[in-house]
Amino acid sequence: MNNAKVLKQIIEQRRSIFPKDYSATEISQEILDEILHSVTFAPNHKRTRPWRFKLFRGEGKTKLASEMQAIYKATQPEQLFLEKKYNDIGFKINKADAIVSIVVNFSGMVPEWEEIAAVSMAVQNMYLSCTANNIGCYWSSPKIVDHLKESLTIEENQKCLGLFYMGNLK
């Protein structure tokens, strides 16, 4: 297949695939490195490279799950708290083999929307790299990521835009 056909196939095959459909096997380090490397090729105005992505696996991922659950509990009015939702947050994070926090850094050199656009293109690169490597993935953007403090160091000029879940397919 020529390059154009391969690219067309990968773009058309890309889907959001959720943690319930991930297997318990680990993504190989080589593939994970390739997915993260793809981020650096996203176009970005004035070379601000606004992506600040952090990888969570193993113990770091377990702590992220606990923090997300604690935030949900703390920010939800008691009468709206749902045990199922609380458990689901933990289930999804535990089921994913690797999670990347999607944080944008606003440099002040270009409008904020341009930095968000560049970060989104970086996420698309990860999506396409996952597809090409048969890895399930999706961008999750719950409100509670605004409160992440222990797992992430968010500076004044930065914002967390969500989490990118990854796992081998069943």
Ligand X SMILES: Cc1cc2nc3c(=O)[nH]c(=O)nc-3n(C[C@H](O)[C@H](O)[C@H](O)COP(=O)(O)O)c2cc1C
Q: Where are the alpha helices (DSSP H) in the chain?
A: 3-13, 29-39, 58-75, 83-95, 112-132
Q: Judge whether 97 and 167 are in contact, CB under 8 Å.
A: yes
Site for ligand X in 148-167 (CB under 6 A): 162
Q: How many residues sit in the footprint of ligand X (CB under 6 A)? A: 8
Least gap, CB of 5 to ligand X (angstroms): 20
138 lies in the site for ligand X, by CB under 6 A: yes
Least gap, CB of 13 to ligand X (angstroms): 10
Distance, CA of 170 to CA of 159 (rounded, Å): 33
Position among 9, 13, 16, 94 found at the interface with ligand X (CB under 6 A): 16
Q: Judge whether 45 and 118 are in contact, CB under 8 Å.
A: yes
91 lies in the site for ligand X, by CB under 6 A: no
Q: How far is CA 82 from CA 50, 93, 111, 146, in A?
A: 36, 17, 39, 20
Residue 60 or 142 having the CB closest to ligand X? 142
72 lies in the site for ligand X, by CB under 6 A: no
Residue 47 or 143 having the CB closest to ligand X? 143
Position among 141, 153, 157, 169 found at the interface with ligand X (CB under 6 A): 141
87 lies in the site for ligand X, by CB under 6 A: no
Half-sphere exposure in the Cβ direction for 33 (13 Å, CA): 3
